[in-house]
Amino acid sequence: MAGPGSDAATEDGLLKNTYEDVIAEGVLRKFQLRDWFKLKDSPWEGGRGKEWSAHVERNNSPMAVGSDSAIPVADNQKYVTGFITQRKIMARWRVTQEQLDDTQSREGAYRSSRTENMERLIDDIAYREEFYLGSDGRGVFAIVDATSSGATLELNSPGNVSSTGVAITSAFGNRFIKRGMALAAINPANGVIRTNTPKVTAVNSDGTDVTLASSPSWTTGDYVVQAANNAVTDTLDTAYEKAPWGLTAIIDDGTYRQNYFGIDRYLYPNYASYVSAATGALSFDLLQRISDIVNQRLDGEVNAIASHHSVRRVYILLTQADRRYADQASRMRPDGGTAAFQQEDLTMGAVSYKAVRTLPLRSMFLLDVQGSDLVRYTSEKGKWVSGTSGEILVRDGTGTNARHAWESWYYKRYNLFARNPGKCARLDGLTGMTFVVVRGE
Amino acid sequence: MQFGDTVTLVNRTSKSVLGVQWDGVHYHFPPGEHPNIPIQIAIAALKQHPLMGSEDPLGDPGIFRSLFGIRGASDPFGDITPLEQTDADERIDRSKVMGVGGDKKQVRKINAGGPTHFDARMGTETVNLQDDAVTRR
């Protein structure tokens, strides 16, 4: 039996902790949609907005004529002008003087609070941007479902993408909402805020609802958006209609945006994308048809496909029957996976297929990236709001509200735009079904 | 038709309340006639509720049978006789697909399933099961 002596148990009070040099990253920092879309940046000169001119109709006078026959009446080109406006995203951080002081040294903290928070806030904006870039610019998280009761807010149509015909348990209406957010409800008929903007206390595991700090008493069908705080009474203080326009607004036929930056898509359908609603099962026959339609409409050439991962799984099944017709080398060493296993792009006739986690469920976007001329008009790529002396940490409060604390604000201001959205297409209402051609059977 | 025109939209089904989305707004139309509907919304209703399996895969993508009709419109959208949804799985009429894709013996239907809740959530954030249990109690 070992006798008494020094060991880790008897002299625990002598030992110190040692520390890792880094903080393990447990928060998502890769932003698929933002990183995939290398949009052309276009300058913004301020003023009322960027006026753009849309060529909506040709001169229809050309006609075959005979000797001395009447020639057609004169016609002319037709144009309509519209306005592109800017959208702003802001984020905010508050810190006490003590926290700044006590995290200055490596002995006292893994990293300085200032560095950590200011760097990561920019990532956090990017995280919210992922939602905006996949949606229609209204900032709508979901729609209030009729089954809501008390403080439990049942939701459908995440991102304002209709989930009509889909059971609420499969609609995943709470997919974009985070715990701690304040929410507001907007009457879709007039854009006016309803009373009550409670905070989210839980995002529930069945995907259908969130629990609020108090019963909101909102109306079935209301838009649910983010509010600046839990005492908001004005639509101005919500995210409603303030987000940059995302793919569902730009690649659209009017389902989400009838007024395309001043051009009425009902009157001028060439500024509407081809949208197949209630598409149902996916098949190669269907994809070829869509490619043919956009090419025949406006000479569109699909060179990128994007969808949610769940739709890409359907696409992978489509290719399954063909993969056994591989060359000998592949047959000798069969590989059950596709490039999607490494989260690389699949291809459809050399067109890359990107899965993006924030895109609408049950939809697929077929893009002519060059032909549609996707651009981003940017008045501010992103910067800290500075005080009168250029400082970005500003004293918090004055008078009786004064505290020894600091605040900093970060903002970005831009909007996305496609000069020719009619060269793109969207499939809505895809189901999990595929029709696979099984050759030779 | 001029801007601001309205039409009588007919939900041709006998039981289904059909949802329509236009300019971001969701509308719901029970079976029967609905007068004074703006023409843009009526056309969206027609497009968003095709009779599954009725679209000619080689034809005009704007021509298909719809669960909605517009009273007085030209064919095929002026048809407001009763109609129920089919059990077809896709919008296009597969029997009109050319080549092997139209051969029933060589085409197999596979269900890849739909999105899951895990799919739908963004990133790595989990839900709080304890909160959920409290809510459901």
Domain ranges of chain A: 87-133+386-414, 138-242, 258-373+420-434
Roughly how many angstroms between the first and final C-alpha of chain B, as a whole number? 56
Name every chain A residue with its beta carbon within 8 A of the beta carbon of B111.
432-434
- Does B127 have pLDDT greater than 60? no
Between strands A87-96 and A405-418, the pairing is antiparallel
Cβ A100 vs Cβ A113: under 8 Å: yes
What pLDDT score does A266 carry? 93
Kindly list the residues from chain B whose CB atom is less than 8 angstroms away from the CB atom of residue A211: 131, 135
The nearest CA of chain B is from the CA of A435 a distance in Å of 5
- In this structure, the number of other CB atoms found within 10 A of the CB of residue A432 comes to 19
Residue ranges covered by each domain of chain B: 6-136
Q: Which positions ≥6 away from A73 have C-beta within 8 Å?
A: A61
Amino acid at A296: Q
CA-nearest residue to B66 within chain A is A278
Q: Is the pLDDT of residue B113 over 90?
A: no
C-alpha separations of A318 from A48, A349, A422, B30, B100 in Å? 49, 14, 27, 36, 14
Tell if the CB–CB gap between A257 and B116 is shorter than 8 Å: no
Say how far apart CA A138 and CA A191 lie, in whole Å: 10
Per-residue pLDDT of chain A (441 residues; tens, 9 = 90+): 556 788 788 888 888 777 777 666 656 566 666 666 666 777 788 888 888 999 989 999 999 999 999 999 999 999 999 989 999 999 999 999 999 999 999 888 988 999 999 888 888 888 888 899 999 999 999 999 999 999 999 999 999 999 988 999 899 999 999 999 999 999 999 999 999 999 999 988 888 999 999 999 999 999 999 999 999 999 999 999 999 999 999 999 999 999 999 999 999 999 999 999 999 999 888 998 999 999 998 889 888 899 999 999 998 888 776 666 667 776 676 666 667 666 677 777 778 888 888 999 999 999 998 898 888 888 888 899 987 888 899 999 999 999 999 999 999 999 999 999 999 999 999 998 888 776 543
Taking CA atoms, what residue in A is nearest to B29?
A164
What is the least distance, in Å, from the CA of B47 to any CA of chain A? 7
- Residue A59 is predicted with a pLDDT of 95
Residue type, A306: A
Each residue's pLDDT tens digit, B52-68: 999 999 999 888 999 99
Distance from CA of A179 to the nearest CA of B (A): 9
CATH 3.30.2320 fits A258-373+420-434, yes or no: yes
Torsion sign (Cα): A416, A422, A426, A429: positive
Q: Looking at residue B120, what is its pLDDT?
A: 86
CB pairs under 8 A between A and B: 199
Closest alpha carbon within chain B to A252:
B23
Find the Cα–Cα–Cα–Cα dihedral A171, A176, A181, A187, rounded to 10°: -60
> What is the predicted pLDDT for the residue at A369?
87
Rounded CA gap, B54 and B65, in Å? 6
What is d(CA A43, CA A24) in angstroms, rounded to the nearest whole number? Answer: 38
Nearest by CB: A439 against B48, B100, B110 = B100
At B137 the pLDDT is: 46
B70 reaches A (C-beta below 8 A)? no
In angstroms, the separation between the Cα of residue B24 and the nearest Cα of chain A is: 4
Among A131, A266, A274, A287, the residue to mutate for chain B (most B Cβ within 10 A): A266
Q: Of chain B residues 9-48, which have a CB less than 8 A from chain A?
A: 18-19, 21-26, 40, 43-44, 47-48
| Residues facing residue A294 across a β-bridge | none
CA B99 to chain centre: 27
A179, A204, A308, A316: best to mutate for the B interface, most B CBs within 10 A = A204
Beta bridge partners, A346, equal A353
